[in-house]
Structure 1
Amino acid sequence: MIGVLISAVDGTIVVLALPVIEEDLHITLSAVTWVVVGYLLAVTVLSTQLGRFGDMFGRVRMYKTGFLVFIIGSILCALAWNAPSIIGFRLVQGAGAALIAANSSAIISELYPPKERGRAFGYNALGFSFGSVIGVLLGGLMVTYVPWQWIFWINVPIGAVALLLAQRVLRDQGERQRRRFDFLGMITLGLGLFGILWAMTGLASRPLDGVLAGYLAGGIVLLVVFGFIEVRHPDPTLDLSLFRIPTMTPSLLASLLQGVGSFAVLFLVIMYLQGTRGMDPIDASMLLVPGYLLGAVVGPYAGRLTDRVGPVIPATLGLGVSVAAMAIFAQMTATSDLWLAAVGNLVIMIGGSLFFPANTAAVMGAAPPERLGIASGVLRTFSSIGMVFSFTTAILVASHAIPRNLAFAIFVGTSRLDGRLAVVFAESLRAAFYALMGIMILAAVFSAIRGTRRNKG
């Protein structure tokens, strides 16, 4: 729970601090987004391989190493002096987060019998929601009253406590597996995703040109090459044999699409509240706190429901609730009541708290015991891929309706809209929420299908 909590705290605090970081380090608006994207990219690329490290060298050992790396990365971020340094140090932080995330689900699966895993993953969902609340509250106070570096210093004592507790209570139990490293697969996956994300982020700040087209095409080609490498490698970064398990593929696709559909919501709603409604970043974030609190309450109950009825119903229900949230968000206009944003966030947090424990339990329950670390890493990778593309999609949606530089300024909270631009921006967000609704519906279809496939198997 502390591992999930520290990740959630870091995520929300950093978003609130982006305007101050941009001003203090004198970095461009497009570069400041890589403070978020770079972290997510590191988690995405490294999770599968670091989950494999857990199978090879001990999951608890890698989990504790993750806290150590995360603490070091946080200290380095607090000492950053320019754009390359803070983006680079965020990559270090992301490596630590990947070690934590890729091994935590595997450790839970080892410690708890199948009939109790849903409850355990439900408490993890509670940790995420509670961490998000702490991030908003601490972030607002820190950005207002102390230097921005403290948003990273705060990770040090939290991480140290988690490391000490892990050292005291966790022990490796599973047998270690000898596997080869897939360095070429990691490199092609990382560079492929980087090329596509660099092009998408660039499109939000300037028109399509030869350079951006080259990054996009190169990224796609590298991902195709990655696929060929994985088919032939004896121990691939992305273990394709897992997809032969009947319930695994729909569960992972549901996770990816849920990430695409939901992660952008926070940024789109924050941009709406700041840009269209003229709220300060801290006030906009505080409006969303009740949703996080309700999500924290729902998580453990959703986990217990998963233990009783299986993962299909809670996960699919959670995605259906998220569809309803998109419909609520789509009603927001330049003059609508602010309670729509608060209620929409309440509903989507309920949906997420229903989905995450059930979907995680489904993936880890289907994975062979000797490949729990790999399965945990693959799940995190699919979820992170969805989050990464969701984030850049949110920026692209915003920049389609208003000038690109203004979209970035609204995102980081340094500018606002008025008059006709506010109306146009709100209308573009409505279209975006309907598109995200379609993605969530597709995720719900995959979630429901896995029940049928399991029964047939």
Structure 2
Amino acid sequence: MPLSPLRFRLLVTSLLVVSFLGALDNTVVSTAIATVAGQLGALEHMSWIVVGYTLASTVLLPVLGKLGDRVGPRSVFLASVVVFIVTSIACGFANGIVWLIVARVVQGMSSAGLQLMSQTIIAETTTPRQRPKFMAIIGAAFPVAILIGPVLGGVITDNWGWPWVFWINAPVGIVALALAIVAVPHIEPGRSGRFDLAGAVALTIGLVALVLAVTSIGDRSQTVATAVAFAVAAVAFVVFFAVEVRAEEPLVPLGHFRDRTVATGTVISAIVGIGLFSITSYLPTYFQMAYRTSATVSGLVPIATVFGMLVSNLATGWLVSRTGHYRVYPLVGTALGAAGLGAMALLPLGAPLWAPTIAMAVVGLGTGAFMSLIVAVVQSAVPRTETGAITATVNLVRQVGATVATALVGGIIGATVVALLPAGLDPATLTPAVVRTQSAAAQQQIAQVYQGVFVPVFVALAAAYVVGVVASILLPNSRLSDDTGPLRAAATESIPAA
């Protein structure tokens, strides 16, 4: 029996609210981190409030994806919502940094379930052709969270106190949970057999070691620890691949990468993390130093980028659902991304701020054109019984790409700026406010340093988008169908064709 239009609207509303909560949590908390760490007397451990959450949400993706295929995405989704609400409350009541970090780690685990199962449930309750439109709606939660999260976090922290940054999740989450209980249909599990525990352990060790290594790569005091972490990651990944090729039910379905749609789609998805997410957080620093703008003005360029991403994400999802044709959008999107970042590298020092704003808005438009769409395309290329696992794999590649690229970009920027700054300037204490106290000649020199540092970064990221262009050309020129395919018995509840 198909879902009624009302029930499907409730389903999409619930998934959107929950996805928004998961995406918003990190951006809201980012504004309050200094206040939280200061009041708990643990400024030296401040980064772990974010790192613990991000690390947990990354490493648990493949485990939850496989679990969703085995027990059904509804169970994993509802459990994730409950855990997210409970840990949000626990974070607000934290009276020490250890309590808060542990709660954030568990919260990050549940966040992975919110993100992943929302996409999986949409895939299970729609046809391949309907899927891009609704995947885009769910995917819109991320850019919206980036736009409003930092401001909302600041308002809450200043007026209610930092615990409410976490507690605000509870009432909204409870409403979303009630909607989900009513609207999310039961989907019959489609996988059986022994759970790939060895693969899960090896992949978890490898991912944890890799993330820890890349996040400490710029810290000279951690050189030995970083090298050890990279070595552990390499060994763990070798073990993981050896286990996966022999596993009866592998955690990551490596065999599907023989399919050109899966292989090229995963590469295209990785470009989102490598090409855009890696640079976004450094753009305000670049504009404050190279263009000598205020902190407020420097935030306009990332906002333009994210807004472009939001618009094209929704537009392409709607267009693909109307026609079924999808290949042109990642092709045009990756080309726009390469062009925008190429323009950033070519802009002369002293160009008016509207020029880089337009260039990065073009990058956002291009990235949004395939950000959610490519997940739906890859989902359509595998059996429904492995929707959770393949969705987790695509998201995992994107997040690991973003984490590794962000750390590398940060390390390159930090090391090169230190090497090129004029004598007499301490890079450890060089802030935009300090720069404004320097002579006009010194300010111009500092601006040239930052311009010279960021240009090769923009070129490298543009090259990443060019790789995406090649992958998009190799993407099969197929058409998403209205056929639901070999759905499982209880998963045949899908919205009627619009």
| Same fold, TM-score > 0.5, yes or no | yes
2:121 to 104, 107, 110: 107
| Partners of 2:283 and 2:302 within 8 A in 1 | no
- State the alpha-carbon separation in 2 of the partners of residues 397 and 106 from structure 1: 37
In structure 2, the partner of 1:325 is 340
In structure 1, the partner of 2:135 is 121
In structure 1, the partner of 2:391 is 376
In structure 2, the partner of 1:349 is 364
2:473 to 439, 445, 448: 448
Report the TM-score, using the length of structure 2 for normalisation: 0.81
| Partners of 1:40 and 1:387 within 8 A in 2 | no
How far the C-alpha of 1:273 sits from its partner, in A, is: 4.1
- The total of aligned residue pairs comes to 451
Amino acid at match of 2:370: F
- State the alpha-carbon separation in 2 of the partners of residues 157 and 204 from structure 1: 40
Gaps of 5+ in 1: none
- Which structure features the higher share of helix residues? 1
1:338-395 deviation line (CA, Å, top 9, x unaligned): 3345334422322222112320121111110111111211122111111221221232
| Partners of 1:5 and 1:132 within 8 A in 2 | no
- State the alpha-carbon separation in 2 of the partners of residues 446 and 379 from structure 1: 15
Amino acid at match of 1:99: G
Secondary structure, aligned partner of 1:115: coil
In structure 1, the partner of 2:380 is 365
2:59 to 45, 60, 72: 45
How far the C-alpha of 1:54 sits from its partner, in A, is: 1.3
Secondary structure, aligned partner of 2:60: helix
- Is 1:183 aligned to residue 208 of structure 2? no
| Partners of 1:45 and 1:190 within 8 A in 2 | yes
In structure 2, the partner of 1:7 is 22
How far the C-alpha of 1:165 sits from its partner, in A, is: 1.3
Query: CA 1:312/1:221 → structure 2, altered by over 3 Å: closer, same or farther?
Result: same
- State the alpha-carbon separation in 2 of the partners of residues 277 and 401 from structure 1: 18
Secondary structure, aligned partner of 2:260: coil
| Partners of 1:314 and 1:355 within 8 A in 2 | yes
1:427 to 431, 449, 452: 452
Query: CA 1:403/1:180 → structure 2, altered by over 3 Å: closer, same or farther?
Result: farther
Query: CA 1:303/1:249 → structure 2, altered by over 3 Å: closer, same or farther?
Result: same
| Partners of 1:274 and 1:416 within 8 A in 2 | no
- State the alpha-carbon separation in 1 of the partners of residues 47 and 428 from structure 2: 8
2:464 to 429, 439, 450: 439
In structure 1, the partner of 2:12 is none
1:247-271 deviation line (CA, Å, top 9, x unaligned): 1111112212331111112111133
Greater C-alpha Rg: 2
**Correspondences of 1:372-411 after superposition (within 5 Å):** 372-403=387-418
Query: CA 1:254/1:298 → structure 2, altered by over 3 Å: closer, same or farther?
Result: closer
Amino acid at match of 1:11: N
Q: Percent identity?
A: 25
Query: CA 1:33/1:179 → structure 2, altered by over 3 Å: closer, same or farther?
Result: farther
The two structures, once aligned, show a CA RMSD in angstroms of 3.0
Query: CA 1:274/1:114 → structure 2, altered by over 3 Å: closer, same or farther?
Result: same
In structure 2, the partner of 1:302 is 316
| Partners of 1:278 and 1:416 within 8 A in 2 | no
- Is 1:90 aligned to residue 104 of structure 2? yes
**Correspondences of 1:235-250 after superposition (within 5 Å):** 235-250=249-264
How far the C-alpha of 1:224 sits from its partner, in A, is: 1.4
In structure 2, the partner of 1:17 is 32
- Is 1:263 aligned to residue 288 of structure 2? no
Worse overlay, 243-252 or 393-402 = 393-402
- State the alpha-carbon separation in 2 of the partners of residues 179 and 274 from structure 1: 56
Worse overlay, 15-24 or 147-156 = 15-24
How far the C-alpha of 1:437 sits from its partner, in A, is: 1.0
1:192 to 206, 225, 232: 206
- State the alpha-carbon separation in 1 of the partners of residues 361 and 370 from structure 2: 14
Query: CA 1:110/1:201 → structure 2, altered by over 3 Å: closer, same or farther?
Result: closer
In structure 2, the partner of 1:158 is 172
Report the TM-score, using the length of structure 1 for normalisation: 0.88
How far the C-alpha of 1:90 sits from its partner, in A, is: 2.3
1:127-146 deviation line (CA, Å, top 9, x unaligned): 33223323133124234444
Secondary structure, aligned partner of 2:187: coil
Secondary structure, aligned partner of 1:233: coil
| Partners of 1:44 and 1:382 within 8 A in 2 | no
- State the alpha-carbon separation in 2 of the partners of residues 13 and 219 from structure 1: 31
| Partners of 2:345 and 2:459 within 8 A in 1 | yes
Query: CA 1:196/1:12 → structure 2, altered by over 3 Å: closer, same or farther?
Result: same
Worse overlay, 280-289 or 259-268 = 280-289
How far the C-alpha of 1:212 sits from its partner, in A, is: 2.4
